[in-house]
Amino acid sequence: MDQKIIQIHDKKFEPFIKFAEIDKAVAKIADRMNEDLHDKKPLFLAILNGSFMFASDLFHKIDFPCEITFVKLASYSGTKSTETVRQLIGIDEDIVGRNVVIIEDIIDSGLTMERVLAQLKMIGAADIKIATLLFKPNSFKGKYPIDYVGLEIGDDFIVGYGLDYDKHGRNFKDIYKIVES
Residue 136: closest CA among 103, 178, 97, 108: 108
166 is catalytic: no
- Report the residue number, 93 or 114, with the smaller CB distance to ligand 5GP: 114
Please count the other Cβ atoms lying within 10 Å of the Cβ belonging to residue 129.
19
Assess 105 for contact with Mg ion (CB under 5 A). yes
Please give the helix or strand (H or E) that residue 151 lies within, else none.
strand 148-152
110 backbone φψ class: left, alpha, beta (φ>0; ψ -120 to 50): left
Q: Which amino acid is located at 116 in the chain?
A: V
Candidate segments 27-35, 61-69, 88-96, 159-167, binder of ligand 5GP by CB under 6 A = 159-167
- Provide the mask over 11-50, with x wherever binding to ligand 5GP is found by CB under 6 A and - wherever it is not: ---------------------------------------x
Minimum gap (Å) between residue 169 Cβ and Mg ion: 14
57 belongs to the binding site for Mg ion (CB under 5 A): no
**Active site (catalytic) residues:** 108
